[in-house]
Chains A and B, each alone.
Chain A
Amino acid sequence: MKTENNNHQYDVIVIGGGITGAGTARDCAMRGLKVLLVERHDISTGATGRNHGLLHSGARYAVTDHESATECIKENMTLRKIARHCVEETDGLFITLPEDDLNFQSLFVEKCIEAGIQAEVIDPELAKTMEPAVNPELIGAVKVPDASVDPFRLTMANVLDAQLHGAKTLVSHEVIDVLVEQNRVVGVKLRNHHNGEEFNAYAQVTINAAGIWGTLIAQMAGVKINMFPAKGSLLIFGHRVNNMVINRCRKPANADILVPDDAVCVIGTTSDRVPIEACDDMRVTPEEVEVLLSEGMKLAPSLGNTRILRAYAGVRPLIASDDDPSGRSISRGIVTLDHEKRDGLAGFITITGGKMMTYRLMAEEVTNLACEKLGVNKPCITASTPLPGSEPQQESKKYSFANKASHGRHGTLDSKISTGDAASDALVCECEGVSVGEVKYAIDELHVHNLVNLRRRTRVGMGTCQGELCACRTAGVMCDSDDSAQRAINDLAGFLNERWKGMQPVAWGDNLAEAQLTATIYQGLLGVDQLTTERRADYYEI
């Protein structure tokens, strides 16, 4: 890192490169503030990258939490407009099965309408034609405006827009201390994970948007936030069995949402309390896999014989209400903590709770507060300004698989991807249609430092083969722009290891065969395990 970045004065430092932090950085930058966004790992590594990818209509919360439901439907309609390229307008079904109480349906619809959600009772037979994968034994169906959203794209688009408005982004920069002077947070101490360098950054306001890890940031500032990490596990299937979101029409429970995301579908979730120390390395247990699969099959029976690609888990940043430190009453709503009022610590705000769906609203709330503290009086325009990639565009004719796939991923920004020559159009990832041109664009402009970063930007390695064919090709392209073969080899080994971590809990059938072929190629044929200098104990436990 060049030294000119050090000791810089910002209006606002935003801690956390998840969707909340990215959205906050965007909003602050669009209001003319000088912003630094810091993230210890990569954009969307925490809960943001580990959820369903569901653009809730709010229907799920309609019966139990009117406020959340209202927020959801409002943001749902907003995101369809401003994040067009991240959203797929699939619609959703809430189905009632013979074992469920059909009476719940009328209450559900009534509450949806109350919250402003267009819920429409439809004939189960019609539901079967609309979504052929749905359990044919359903006795009731309600259509709602659910949709599918790509959290990686959405977060990246917010980061890009923040940057277009002057914000600075530092990934792989961990906050190792919060600088406090006379009851005021004046900045943070950062460690650059690439080179180990440590330096301070100063700002008038520091916003803690670190999700579940926000509790640790608060600790550094000397204040206490009661967080209750709730682990949610999900399974990814090899292809879409459904093209509409399928939910159970009952009180929220385990594994009752099946979302079509890109070329796959995702069933989830479970919900279990976990200690904060466990949040950095989530593992999905066999029991969770069993629950997800057996409950998922009730939504769409064909899941029972569809290849499962991966299992993964995220942590919801649930927060206990301040007036109830025991944590019994937990809110899923947005929580903005002005530590000046709450703890007498000026220049420090925590934004937490909420959910990905309401990130923009969270950002608006916290930015309003920051502006108030800074004496800036500018309106929020994030709800009406399209994100980069989602600007209105003339219908363009895209021909190749890779052109179409990358347009889906980057929207109008795909114009920055070089194409038309054999070298750029060559595919590195055949499952997801990622070209050399797209990889280079991501390396140049989207904060990509390793293969896992690249996966989050482009879907490299997220397809059926889970890195089998694309990993070495991509490592080659990365090496071209980085010039360190050893680093590329270590990166390659790390990436394969990360892929195997998600495959391991569901390693049977074709998925296991795929993993064994991958191991044969990389271990047996290429000897990557012999070449890496950062060998980890759990590397290739096949």
Chain B
Amino acid sequence: MTTSTQTQNMSANNFEQCLKCSICTVYCPVSAVTPLYPGPKQAGPDGERYRLKNKDFFNEALKMCLNCKRCEVACPSGVNIGDIIQAARIKYSTHRPSLRDMMLANTDFVGTMASPFASIANPVLKLKPVKAVLHGVMAIDKHRTFPDYTNRKFESWFKKEAAAHQAHYEKQVSYFHGCYVNYNYPQLGKDFVKVMNAVGYGVNLLEKEKCCGVALIANGMPKQARRQGEVNMASMRKAIAQGHQVLTTSSTCTFTMRDEYAHLLGIDNHDVRDSITLATRFLFQLLESGEIKLAFKNDFHKRVAYHSACHMERMGWVPYSTRLLRMIPGIDFVMLESQCCGISGTYGFKKENYERSQAIGKGLFDQIKELTPDCVATDCETCKWQIEMSTGVTVENPISIIAQALDVEETRRLNNA
């Protein structure tokens, strides 16, 4: 009878659906290394009840959350624990972002400024005295090295070298390259174009692309993140109107635009969300349905260990990348135990987080060092920095590995491209 009036229990980010089973805390990489963090259950649904009573119950220790979302993967009740914590930080934190936070968060701006001076900036940022200043004054940990800036942005390369012949392809996609491809590692973008062209797809850049905003959210600048997100959504709508899927090569950008836009920034992305997808997922689905075929070089051999980036886990997309990699005959594939590497974007760059960041990733680093693979594959660029710094093993995006292994001529022939 009463169920006629109460058919469904709902609360913000499902916080009240929490059954207090505490599985999230078991899977929290931060709780595993420090007792100072209250853990996802307490920082999330438990804390939320009291924050609704009084905002003074907000605890700055919530900053220790990596936003890895492993708690959400573990939750059997569908509670968006990570979102609750991030939303609380956005709503209640009284700490304004520091100059350091702004610099780390504005990947777009800093990249634009640094790229023209890459030949100077890269070596300078590696100098010990410079690192000491960054450590002491900016609180950017001295162990960290900024990823090299490129002297030729991906966008510049694309416009000059690739754009002209993209229209020849019958089928078209749009590409959200992200800051890392544009300012630091254009090779990944080039690899992407190479693979897509080989299977008969032309690549288009979006009319306007802004940083997805993940670092802005994490550093307490949601307004700017929202502005940038709206720009991206508007550009993507135009691309989708032309029948394009929007492909990416970064799991974090993808996750942010698909899920965090709506949950944390209040951006309405329901009409765009399903068209944003990771390149590996797009390719795998086409291969499965028989729409495309891939041919690989006979002389390609590599021992590859795959690391499941946290946001890949959250999206449930790990199998797309791994099954794609396993199709390459010359690959000796090893699956690493799924765990957070500890960097979480800009988190690990901060002096106060460095030790915790390394403690979180330690198990992963040990595993990699023991396996001695030729390279580690992962879909996230910040995991790449962390694993390379902490193990010395090269880390590559699955798309780059496919590009290396691909027999381009044969693939083109198979796909009539």
Residues of A near any B CB (own CB < 8 A):
238-240, 243, 260, 262-264, 286, 289-290, 293-294, 297, 304-308, 399-401, 404-405, 422, 427, 430-431, 433, 463-465, 468-469, 506, 508-510, 513-514, 517
B9 touches A404 (CB 8 A): no
A345 CA / B77 CA spacing, docked (Å): 64
**Chain B residues whose C-beta falls within 8 Å of the C-beta of A517 in the assembled complex:** 19-21
**Chain B residues whose C-beta falls within 8 Å of the C-beta of A405 in the assembled complex:** 50, 57
Question: B17 in the interface, Cβ–Cβ < 8 Å?
Answer: yes
Quick one: CB contact mask for B21-47 with A, threshold 8 Å, 1 for yes? 110000000000001001001100111
On whether A239 and B10 interact (CB within 8 A), knowing A290-B2, A513-B19, the answer reads: no
B5 touches A293 (CB 8 A): yes
**Chain A residues whose C-beta falls within 8 Å of the C-beta of B42 in the assembled complex:** 401, 427, 430
**Chain A residues whose C-beta falls within 8 Å of the C-beta of B56 in the assembled complex:** 404
A277 CA / B10 CA spacing, docked (Å): 40
Residues of B near any A CB (own CB < 8 A):
1-3, 5-11, 15-22, 35, 38, 41-42, 45-50, 52-53, 56-57, 59, 77
**Chain A residues whose C-beta falls within 8 Å of the C-beta of B15 in the assembled complex:** 239
21 contacts between A and B (CB under 8 A): A238-B16, A240-B53, A243-B53, A263-B53, A286-B1, A290-B5, A306-B16, A307-B11, A399-B59, A401-B57, A404-B57, A405-B57, A430-B20, A430-B41, A433-B50, A464-B18, A468-B19, A469-B20, A510-B19, A517-B19, A517-B21
B9 touches A510 (CB 8 A): yes
**Chain B residues whose C-beta falls within 8 Å of the C-beta of A308 in the assembled complex:** 6
| Chain A nearest CB, measured from B204 CB (Å) | 43
A307 CA / B46 CA spacing, docked (Å): 14
B52 touches A305 (CB 8 A): no
**Chain B residues whose C-beta falls within 8 Å of the C-beta of A463 in the assembled complex:** 46, 49
A293 touches B20 (CB 8 A): no
Identify the closest chain B residue to A239 (Cβ): B49
**Chain A residues whose C-beta falls within 8 Å of the C-beta of B50 in the assembled complex:** 263, 401, 404-405, 433
| Chain A nearest CB, measured from B327 CB (Å) | 42
On whether A464 and B16 interact (CB within 8 A), knowing A240-B52, A263-B50, A509-B9, the answer reads: yes
**Chain A residues whose C-beta falls within 8 Å of the C-beta of B5 in the assembled complex:** 290, 293-294, 297, 304
B49 touches A263 (CB 8 A): yes
Identify the closest chain B residue to A433 (Cβ): B50
Among A239, A307, A514, which residue has its beta carbon within 8 angstroms of that of B48?
A239
**Chain A residues whose C-beta falls within 8 Å of the C-beta of B22 in the assembled complex:** 469
Among B1, B6, B52, which residue has its beta carbon within 8 angstroms of that of A509?
B6
13 new A-B contacts at CB < 8 Å, known A240-B49, A290-B5, A307-B9: A290-B1, A293-B2, A297-B5, A305-B6, A305-B10, A306-B11, A307-B11, A401-B42, A401-B50, A431-B46, A464-B16, A468-B19, A517-B21
Identify the closest chain A residue to B50 (Cβ): A263
B16 touches A508 (CB 8 A): no
A239 touches B41 (CB 8 A): no
B53 touches A262 (CB 8 A): yes
A239 touches B2 (CB 8 A): no
**Chain A residues whose C-beta falls within 8 Å of the C-beta of B9 in the assembled complex:** 305-307, 509-510
A326 CA / B59 CA spacing, docked (Å): 59
Identify the closest chain B residue to A508 (Cβ): B3
A509 CA / B9 CA spacing, docked (Å): 7
| Chain B nearest CB, measured from A405 CB (Å) | 7
A439 CA / B77 CA spacing, docked (Å): 30
On whether A464 and B49 interact (CB within 8 A), knowing A430-B41, A469-B20, A510-B16, the answer reads: yes
Identify the closest chain A residue to B52 (Cβ): A240
| Chain B nearest CB, measured from A284 CB (Å) | 11
A464 touches B59 (CB 8 A): no
| Chain A nearest CB, measured from B20 CB (Å) | 4
A306 CA / B10 CA spacing, docked (Å): 6
**Chain B residues whose C-beta falls within 8 Å of the C-beta of A465 in the assembled complex:** 19-20
Identify the closest chain A residue to B22 (Cβ): A469
**Chain B residues whose C-beta falls within 8 Å of the C-beta of A401 in the assembled complex:** 38, 42, 46-47, 50, 57, 59
A289 touches B2 (CB 8 A): yes
| Chain A nearest CB, measured from B62 CB (Å) | 11
Among B7, B19, B52, which residue has its beta carbon within 8 angstroms of that of A263?
B52
**Chain A residues whose C-beta falls within 8 Å of the C-beta of B16 in the assembled complex:** 238-239, 306-307, 464, 510
**Chain B residues whose C-beta falls within 8 Å of the C-beta of A508 in the assembled complex:** 2-3, 6
Identify the closest chain B residue to A422 (Cβ): B35
A141 CA / B77 CA spacing, docked (Å): 39
A406 CA / B10 CA spacing, docked (Å): 29
Identify the closest chain B residue to A148 (Cβ): B53
**Chain B residues whose C-beta falls within 8 Å of the C-beta of A514 in the assembled complex:** 19-20
**Chain B residues whose C-beta falls within 8 Å of the C-beta of A422 in the assembled complex:** 35
A263 CA / B52 CA spacing, docked (Å): 7
Identify the closest chain B residue to A263 (Cβ): B49
| Chain A nearest CB, measured from B114 CB (Å) | 39
Identify the closest chain B residue to A308 (Cβ): B6
**Chain B residues whose C-beta falls within 8 Å of the C-beta of A290 in the assembled complex:** 1-2, 5
Among A239, A304, A399, which residue has its beta carbon within 8 angstroms of that of B6?
A304
| Chain B nearest CB, measured from A426 CB (Å) | 10
On whether A510 and B17 interact (CB within 8 A), knowing A239-B11, A305-B8, the answer reads: yes
| Chain A nearest CB, measured from B105 CB (Å) | 27
| Chain B nearest CB, measured from A472 CB (Å) | 13
A508 CA / B77 CA spacing, docked (Å): 15
A286 touches B2 (CB 8 A): yes
**Chain A residues whose C-beta falls within 8 Å of the C-beta of B2 in the assembled complex:** 286, 289-290, 293, 506, 508
**Chain A residues whose C-beta falls within 8 Å of the C-beta of B38 in the assembled complex:** 401
| Chain A nearest CB, measured from B25 CB (Å) | 10
The 8 closest A-B pairs by CB, nearest first: A465-B20, A263-B49, A305-B10, A307-B9, A239-B49, A509-B9, A240-B52, A307-B16
**Chain B residues whose C-beta falls within 8 Å of the C-beta of A464 in the assembled complex:** 16, 18, 20, 45-46, 49
A452 CA / B2 CA spacing, docked (Å): 29
| Chain A nearest CB, measured from B389 CB (Å) | 33
**Chain B residues whose C-beta falls within 8 Å of the C-beta of A297 in the assembled complex:** 5
**Chain A residues whose C-beta falls within 8 Å of the C-beta of B17 in the assembled complex:** 307, 510
Identify the closest chain B residue to A521 (Cβ): B21
**Chain A residues whose C-beta falls within 8 Å of the C-beta of B3 in the assembled complex:** 508
For B7, B9, B21, B41, which residue has the most chain A Cβ atoms within 10 angstroms? B9
A106 CA / B5 CA spacing, docked (Å): 33
**Chain A residues whose C-beta falls within 8 Å of the C-beta of B35 in the assembled complex:** 422
| Chain A nearest CB, measured from B52 CB (Å) | 5
A430 touches B46 (CB 8 A): yes
| Chain B nearest CB, measured from A235 CB (Å) | 10
| Chain A nearest CB, measured from B348 CB (Å) | 25
Identify the closest chain A residue to B42 (Cβ): A430
**Chain A residues whose C-beta falls within 8 Å of the C-beta of B7 in the assembled complex:** 305
| Chain A nearest CB, measured from B88 CB (Å) | 12
| Chain A nearest CB, measured from B45 CB (Å) | 8
Identify the closest chain B residue to A505 (Cβ): B2
Identify the closest chain A residue to B12 (Cβ): A239
Identify the closest chain A residue to B17 (Cβ): A510
**Chain B residues whose C-beta falls within 8 Å of the C-beta of A264 in the assembled complex:** 49
| Chain A nearest CB, measured from B74 CB (Å) | 16
A42 CA / B121 CA spacing, docked (Å): 72
A191 CA / B339 CA spacing, docked (Å): 61
Identify the closest chain A residue to B35 (Cβ): A422
| Chain B nearest CB, measured from A517 CB (Å) | 5
**Chain A residues whose C-beta falls within 8 Å of the C-beta of B18 in the assembled complex:** 464
A308 CA / B57 CA spacing, docked (Å): 23
Identify the closest chain B residue to A465 (Cβ): B20
Identify the closest chain A residue to B41 (Cβ): A430
Identify the closest chain B residue to A425 (Cβ): B35
| Chain B nearest CB, measured from A135 CB (Å) | 15
**Chain A residues whose C-beta falls within 8 Å of the C-beta of B6 in the assembled complex:** 293, 304-305, 308, 508-509
For A286, A306, A431, which residue has the most chain B Cβ atoms within 10 angstroms? A431
